[in-house]
Chains A and B, each alone.
Chain A
Amino acid sequence: MIDALFNQTGYQATKRLLDATVLRQEAIAANLANVETPGYKRVDVASDFTTALKQAVSSGDAGQISSLRPQITTDQTAVAANRDGNTVQMESELLAMNQNSLAHAVETQLITGHMLKLRLAITGRPQ
């Protein structure tokens, strides 16, 4: 089947990581949008995603990896820095955003690398 081409665990894991990275960008955008909203609680990609991904990767089951779905949830560990109850800190959000952007660059490169390798294997010549 043609599915087998894209069924390596590394490729599947990178895809899921990329999903999580894009979702994280969305969470950070929401946090920075609400940086001045009283009582707002910051959101992030659910932390159990990374542990689930680690487990799935170590099990080596591509199906298990591709069934993972990252999700945005309220960050329960964040504490409010001032009395309006808002748990967003602009500096740490901007830092997280830049880290996230780098992670995104790495993940897209990994996927590209994988595809180019496949193409090389199929055509027998580097493009």
Chain B
Amino acid sequence: MIPLLSGINSTSAALQAERVRMDVVSQNIANANTSRAADGKPYRRQQVVFESELNRAMTSGPSAAAQSVKVARIETDNRPAKLIYEPGHPDANAQGMVAIPDINIHEEMVDLIASSRAFEANLAVIKNARTMALQTLAIGKR
């Protein structure tokens, strides 16, 4: 079936993917000081990897080359934890050092802004597709 809103398959997939990315970034920010994650070790920064994929609905036809996007995987950043001196902390080692994740809040904010800009661009596509669909439906009317 040809959707009335052209390109809506790719756009909705992108909105979903950007949302996942925003979730991951906010998780990173929220856990910037987590010295004990679920596995008992300091939290480790997560990162979303995007991948383009061919639209399943349209494997042939003129728009077959238009690709959609998906989250391929969520990777764990392997940068080592940083040690801060905090002797009274329950997770401190013998030297009074606590291992916390090496999360740069500015880096995360930049990621968040990039993500929300991409999200906005995709919303603009939907708005535009809607206008075009309305124009198409008005063919033949004066």
A residues contacting B by CB (< 8 A) are: 21-23, 25-30, 32-38, 40, 43, 69-74, 90, 93-94, 97-98, 100-101, 104-105, 108, 111-112, 115-116, 127
Q: How many residues of B contact A (CB 8 A)?
A: 39
Are A33 and B122 within 8 A (Cβ)?
yes
Selecting from B7-15, B32-40, B81-89, B90-98, the interface stretch reads: B7-15
Name A's interface SS.
Answer: helix
Of A37, A38, A93, most buried by chain B (CB within 10 Å of CB) is A37
Instruction: Collect the chain B residues with CB atoms within 8 Å of residue A26's CB.
Output: 6-7, 10, 63, 66
A30 lies within 8 A of B128 (CB): no
Residue of B nearest to A72 (CB): B65
Q: Mark B19-45, 1 if CB is under 8 A from A, else 0.
A: 001000000000000000000000000
Contacting residue for B7 out of A30, A70, A71, A112, CB 8 A = A30
Residues in B lying within 8 Å of A, measured CB to CB? 6-8, 10-11, 13-14, 18, 21, 50-52, 62-69, 114-115, 117-118, 121-122, 124-125, 128-129, 131-132, 135-136, 138-142
| A30-B132 Cα distance, complex, nearest whole Å | 17
Do A35 and B132 contact each other (CB < 8 Å), given the known contacts A40-B67, A108-B139, A112-B139?
Answer: no
Q: Whole-angstrom distance between the alpha carbons of A108 and B52 in the complex?
A: 32
Complexed CA–CA distance, A69 and B52 (Å): 25
Write out the residue numbers on chain A whose beta carbons fall within 8 Å of the beta carbon of B124: 32, 94, 97
Residue of A nearest to B138 (CB): A108
Say yes or no: B66 contacts A30, CB within 8 Å.
Answer: yes
Quick one: given A33-B10, A98-B128, are A23 and B121 in contact (CB under 8 Å)?
Answer: no
Query: Once A and B bind, how many residue pairs between them come within 8 Å at the CB atom?
Result: 123
Interface pair B121/A70, CB less than 8 Å apart: no
In the bound complex, CA of A101 to CA of B139 (Å): 15
Given the known A-B contacts A30-B66, A32-B121, A97-B124, are A37 and B51 also in contact in the complex, defined by CB atoms under 8 Å?
yes
A35–B123 CA distance with the chains assembled, in angstroms = 13
Please tell me if the beta carbons of B64 and A72 are within 8 angstroms of each other in the complex.
yes
Whether the pair B14, A27 counts as a contact (CB closer than 8 A) is no
Contact in complex: B13, A33 (CB < 8 Å): yes
The 9 closest A-B pairs by CB, nearest first: A29-B7, A33-B14, A30-B66, A33-B10, A26-B7, A72-B65, A30-B10, A37-B50, A71-B62
